[in-house]
Structure 1
């Protein structure tokens, strides 16, 4: 199933081929600051997404192992991407709110659950990983 999306002003647009409708939630402090709360993000392999307006994308290396991007015109957060070698290298983690159609999406995992604000709770059964388990999942040692 293909899905399209864009930033707030439409300067950056994308199409994702064969979208996996499962998404994850990241509660790390960086995502809280970047997204304003937990990041509800799709994991998108680089070879399944096509961007338009890429010249409007601004980048920030937010850690030794990943970057965050935003639209240089409207400021919308676009993706978090692992830049370090490892099992998730090059994958885009894109906010679900950028999609034109969010129907049929299912939250399958929460990560960095030990750093989420106490006031944030999502119902349902899903995999929940603390910081140590999340870093192991991404193949990162700190």
Structure 2
């Protein structure tokens, strides 16, 4: 998928439209408490190249959710759109905000040890605990 064209997407009300270049054809899920509270469920995300294009940056809100990351959302309708490292090294975009979210295969789940017991996915996925995620990305441990 890296050679494909950037894909379009938008928030619920359409005030924030974007194009982003997925790095893979897969969707990942984060079960950490911050992502669950922010998205209203498990955060379904697609890792993208950092040069996302936003149509109307004035409609975009940014929330600094930690010392290392920030989250983008629509100021009008509140749609959760992306999570990114402040240094620009990693960008994940809401899989469901893309115009065709069904193009992404569900591949992995992270922070599975933080997942509450009131839901579970039937798909076979790679699963990582918080310790495994922090070992892979020591800059976000904290």
What is the TM-score with the length of structure 1 in the denominator?
0.87
Contact 1:45 1:90 in 2 (8 A): no
Per the alignment, residue 111 of structure 2 pairs with: 112
Per the alignment, residue 94 of structure 1 pairs with: 93
Per the alignment, residue 124 of structure 1 pairs with: 123
State which of 34, 38, 42 in structure 2 corresponds to 1:38. 42
Contact 1:109 1:128 in 2 (8 A): yes
Computed over aligned residues only, the root mean square deviation of the Cα atoms, in angstroms, reads 1.7
Say how many residue pairs are matched.
137
Once residues 79 and 32 of structure 1 are traced to their aligned partners in structure 2, the CA distance between those partners, rounded to angstroms, is: 13
Per the alignment, residue 68 of structure 2 pairs with: 65
Displaced runs of 4+ in structure 1, greater than 4 A?
none
What is the TM-score with the length of structure 2 in the denominator?
0.87
Residues 8-64 of structure 1: per-residue CA shift (max 9 Å, x gap): 1111111224652211100000011000010000111113x3221112111111111
SS at match of 2:107: strand
Gaps of 5+ in 1: none
Residues 59-114 of structure 1: per-residue CA shift (max 9 Å, x gap): 11111111112111111111111125xxxx43221111111112331111100000
Once residues 18 and 107 of structure 1 are traced to their aligned partners in structure 2, the CA distance between those partners, rounded to angstroms, is: 14
SS at match of 1:81: strand
